[in-house]
Amino acid sequence: MSNKKIIATHSGKYHTDDLFAVATVQILLGHENTEVVRTRDQEEIKRADHVVDVGGIYNPGSNRFDHHQTGGAGRRNNSVPFASFGLVWEKFGQKLTGSAREAKVVEEKLVQPIDADDNGYSLYTLTKEQTYPYTLQVMLSSFRPTSDENKSYDEVFQELLPLVRKMLEREIFLAKLYVKAEDGVRQVYEKSEDKQMIVFDKHEHYAGRELIGDILCEYAEPVYAIFYKPEDNAWQLLAITKGKGTFESRKRLPKGWGGNKTEKELEKLTGFPDVVFIHNNGFMAVTKTKETAVALAKKSLEM
């Protein structure tokens, strides 16, 4: 007799939320300790240890996580409705990540978009080009079997689970990194005497410019950030944006500095040696030394 825990989800066409809901439970229990049953048979559903996206019941106490019943299974404070992934994450997310903050990072980055899509709740509006983004949902749906293939939905579901588990495990890892880095970036900001130019020590690179920029743009004062890039053994000067979701810098580097120029040309333009690259859009520069990056930032602030 098998001691594996049974995870039941619906048969037929799979969706992103049931894939990730099952993957969440598998990570929690150890996937080798689980058996996934895709069914709509009520007797099989009753015998399962965890039920996601089927069964018509939301009861976290008995590990029932469906949202298809009349009235659904509720909405978040921001109005995004829950789907099965969100319901499972609501119960087990903190246990999997280790803290409420880390669970929230995964919830906002990954869980909510999947839940919204499954419920037909739009999170974006199309631009005038009317071009749809290639989303995670579209990617996973592309593996659905066609009439020309000798495969079933059950087979494809099982084939996709290792990939989905790996994606979720990676996002958990990145959430831990983000929380650690967020604390570090905020500490650097708080101790910085010059709030316009936030200069990090060599060991304080905190996962790169995207994370540093996203955190510092929450404050009103920062214009530039300077930090080490270990992968290039170089320093980066980053122009902070006006907010998350925009590429518009608070003060871009002088227009004439950017573009495909040699180091000699950059030295002549800026007045400083050791300048390796300045982006044509003026949002960042790469230098060989911290001192050069600081000098570039100061000169740009004065212009």
For the entire predicted model, the pTM comes to 0.87
Backbone angles phi, psi at 223, to 5 degrees: -110, -40
Q: Let me know: does 59 contact 51? Beta carbons within 8 Å.
A: no
Q: Whole-number mean pLDDT of the chain?
A: 94
pLDDT(1) > 70: no
Cα–Cα–Cα angle for 181, 85, 32, rounded to 5 degrees: 90
Return the minimum-mean-pLDDT range out of 19-23, 195-199, 265-269.
265-269
pLDDT(285) > 90: yes
Gap between the Cα atoms of 152 and 156, Å rounded = 7
Q: Is 142 exposed, middle or buried, given 0-12, 13-18 or 19+ CB atoms closer than 10 A?
A: exposed
CB neighbours (10 Å) of residue 3? 5
pLDDT of residue 268: 92
Q: Let me know: does 276 contact 288? Beta carbons within 8 Å.
A: yes
Q: Let me know: does 47 contact 33? Beta carbons within 8 Å.
A: no
Go through the chain and tell me how many residues it has. 303
CB neighbours (10 Å) of residue 166? 12
Cα–Cα–Cα angle for 129, 131, 137, rounded to 5 degrees: 160
Which residue from 263, 275, 265 is spatially nearest to 299, judged by alpha carbons?
A: 275
DSSP letters spanning 149-172: S---HHHHHHHHHHHHHHHHHHHH
Return the minimum-mean-pLDDT range out of 90-94, 151-155, 202-206.
202-206
**Which H or E run contains 267?**
helix 263-270
Gap between the Cα atoms of 204 and 147, Å rounded = 54
Three-state secondary-structure class, residue 122? coil
Gap between the Cα atoms of 17 and 120, Å rounded = 12
The pLDDT tens digits for 228-277 are 999 889 999 999 999 988 889 999 999 889 887 889 999 999 999 999 99
Count Cβ neighbours within 10 Å for each residue of 94-109 and write b for 16 or more, e otherwise. bebbeeeebbbbbbee
Phi-psi sector, 130: left (phi>0), alpha (psi -120 to 50), beta = left
DSSP state, 32? G
Three-state secondary-structure class, residue 80? coil
Average pLDDT in the 175-183 region?
92
pLDDT of residue 258: 85
Gap between the Cα atoms of 159 and 155, Å rounded = 6
CB neighbours (10 Å) of residue 202? 10
The pLDDT tens digits for 106-146 are 999 999 999 999 999 999 898 899 998 999 999 999 999 99
